[in-house]
Structure 1
């Protein structure tokens, strides 16, 4: 009874504000309403009458702000109180929706979502951010709270705000506002909505999210949007990737890599994404070779090369114990292109001193750690090994491409390619396993002195001929 009486009194007070000139005491009335709504019993007792009065007040503020701006432009110091009261209206709306489906639906049915979105758009378009920041933050928080757990409100927000209003909110030059807007978007998204984002008129919104993942990585909501929604849509990934700059492509690939490395988490990345990324790697892989000159012609070329390196890292992870991506072993020409690139990188590195040359600099202050191609050659060998695992056709293909001597020539220590010797041994093991022709080839290389197995022995492996077959076995360090 006490709550009902208090609400009736609040309804009368807010209705009274509507019929007179605003004063600071009116702001205090709204603040008391905000505070009261923190109590669950009070929230459960509020009714349509008090919210209708609040909507009338919000609409009046909107009209007054528009009228003042149309006369004075952005120079509207007289609107300070109206802007403060607008922010407080948004706070009331925000608090009313906390753990209250009934209030969410009531505010939706009264039209608060539409009025709030239009007012936010107007404030951001016509006034300086410093003047409206408090209102913008609180308004976006209301949108977030009204959407949580309420599918009808989510759909309304999406219908009214997608894509332009959401893009506007994500572009506000305030980290808190962007964080709140990202939460709203994440809350509203579902599989069907994600698919619509791939269409050309809407793709800018997805690209903005990915830009924020790069420029403001501390905003968790944008990362969640990318990993929980974007990466699960092959259509959207391809649409974004083809329109992204290389900086954002690397960010996308890093998020994908982190997602696949999550323990006890379902990756959720569709096979079509893997196919697209494999093709992207093949189409651009030779751009890495431009780094050998030491004088890259433009930053764009450097970024393109770094994108290829990130693509390689993703492909290595996809083909490492991820059954859903092992079809990449049959991806057209992926194995051949990777082997050819390894041959070129290896030859360039041996021809002169350059970024692809092997190094024995293991000092922590050395230049190896800053090299843009750190581990690139090792990862090429790793990918080859993955693509040949239990795959006789690919084992044979490497032999035909003369890739076995090439890999054996990389069984050494190279500070520019940590673990290259281990990956080389891993690849050789996969190439020799149950493949007599490859075993014979390695045996013939040994007899001709082409292959040097001392390096394999240093790593704890030994090539042994037994009954006409060649075996790769571990040996004790003191043998």
Structure 2
């Protein structure tokens, strides 16, 4: 595979090429004070790295000459690579060069070469493709007119073709091009969410899933499309299929299983939400869609073994389960931070109406107890109140699954009386008290358990009375409650516990 590095070619033949005007060649050679085309381009690339150099070359009309060279040497990889690097540098923040690029039809020249390279060759230079996309990215930064020229030339088939190049070196600048175009023309985000646009987004996610990404442009694009524009319910199912450049789909699903691309998408969205908790607003429809994914994903618990690692686990179905749960955790935390606790239409309240708390407590109840409690159970095999028989209990499919469930419940219970009451009505108080322990399979379970217990007891006398009336069973004693200013005292004659203030 050609690595895009220029080699010394026959300079005299290039200078005598009748398809490039003598004026153009002389202009380039004079601007660089060299005697061969390759040396000329390499010299100009260095000159164009500085602001002053770009301005000087703009005054000499170098960019138009480079485009002419490209048009007549569009099969010479060495010349193309050098021209792309020079155009990229010339258009890096210099409006005169950016305007000249549009005026001399540079978008079409560069795009045609990229389409030809990617569409017809199995050994194209990744460097060449990357530099070509970087040229367009720098041009897009100039404004709407430039963005429109790039968008109209490449949307949608050209974007799909480039998105399918399996390299993060090309995926990053392509995401920059698309995001910059749409950010300057917000209505294009809607176009990107249309029937024609989904193959573009699906191809980008697939490439990033397999090849990775190094810059934030992908996150910015997915945040805007999936979260701010609430288009996750449309994109997520598209990743079950193989899209072709024209938007047609192979409708053969993968036996109803989640794909690695779907797991990757949820992973990135979970990271985005965690990083931008105060900036991104999640709509009710998107939250309910994630909840639907979570409910579908819990089927993995019927046959999953004990997870040996955290997320990502390497299993798409387990990762979809985990990342949908962490997204729900942060949605609930976001609702808390924005003071929506008393809003009847808040996202969390809508989730409540769909049996959210009941499902989470049911899942927690079906899991085998934390390792600390399992050790006690070995000593007291007939102990009551622990849960179902050990043969029917399920292990955590990834390290942290129990902790994430407890975290969601804790966030839901934060200053929400109806959530605190539902925990009590679902007989979940003792169950949550049992989570305030160290668990080898769930790092930070104790901390999240204490947070959860604090929230379900704060300002709720009914829940406090339930704790006080618990019969002492070994697992109801929770020393960590001291961090909340509480202590459990046990009446040895009645074997009942009482919750009292430490003070």
Q: TM-score, normalised by structure 1?
A: 0.73
Give, in whole Å, the separation in 2 of the partners of 1:293 and 1:94. Answer: 51
How many residue pairs match? The answer is 417
Give, in whole Å, the separation in 2 of the partners of 1:424 and 1:256. Answer: 25
Is 1:418 the counterpart of 2:443? The answer is yes
Superposed displacement of residue 118, structure 1: 1.4
Partner in structure 2 of residue 329 of structure 1: 348
Higher alpha-carbon deviation: 341-350 or 204-213: 341-350
Partner in structure 2 of residue 230 of structure 1: 225
Partner in structure 1 of residue 97 of structure 2: 103
Is 1:59 the counterpart of 2:71? The answer is yes
**8 A contact 1:389–1:430 mirrored in 2:** yes
**8 A contact 2:357–2:419 mirrored in 1:** yes
Q: Residues 55 and 213 (structure 1 numbering): CA distance in 2 closer, same or farther, change over 3 Å?
A: closer
Alignment match of 2:188 (pick from 193, 209, 220): 193
Give, in whole Å, the separation in 1 of the partners of 2:447 and 2:68. Answer: 72
Give, in whole Å, the separation in 1 of the partners of 2:165 and 2:266. Answer: 26
Alignment match of 2:304 (pick from 262, 272, 291): 291
Q: Residues 315 and 52 (structure 1 numbering): CA distance in 2 closer, same or farther, change over 3 Å?
A: closer
Deviations 1:283-321 (A, max 9, x none): 433433432599xxxxx9953233112211222233234
Partner in structure 2 of residue 266 of structure 1: 279
1:4-153 alignment, distance < 5 Å: 12-14=22-24, 25-38=36-49, 39-47=53-61, 52-62=64-74, 65=75, 82-130=76-124, 132-133=125-126, 135-153=128-146
Give, in whole Å, the separation in 2 of the partners of 1:127 and 1:56. Answer: 23
Give, in whole Å, the separation in 1 of the partners of 2:68 and 2:314. Answer: 57
Superposed displacement of residue 374, structure 1: 1.8
Q: Residues 472 and 195 (structure 1 numbering): CA distance in 2 closer, same or farther, change over 3 Å?
A: farther
**8 A contact 2:283–2:347 mirrored in 1:** no
Q: Residues 95 and 433 (structure 1 numbering): CA distance in 2 closer, same or farther, change over 3 Å?
A: closer
**8 A contact 2:107–2:150 mirrored in 1:** yes
Partner in structure 2 of residue 352 of structure 1: 390
**8 A contact 1:234–1:273 mirrored in 2:** no
**8 A contact 1:97–1:104 mirrored in 2:** yes
What is the DSSP-based 3-state SS (H/G/I as helix, E as strand, rest coil) of the residue aligned with 1:108? helix
Q: Give structure 1 stretches of 5+ with no counterpart.
A: 1-9, 19-23, 66-81, 295-299, 358-370
**8 A contact 1:356–1:373 mirrored in 2:** no
Q: Give structure 2 stretches of 5+ with no counterpart.
A: 1-19, 29-34, 240-257, 308-312, 370-385, 491-496
1:250-261 alignment, distance < 5 Å: 250-261=263-274
Partner in structure 1 of residue 158 of structure 2: 165
Superposed displacement of residue 157, structure 1: 0.8
Q: Which has the higher helix share?
A: 1
Give, in whole Å, the separation in 1 of the partners of 2:126 and 2:319. Answer: 38
Q: TM-score, normalised by structure 2?
A: 0.70
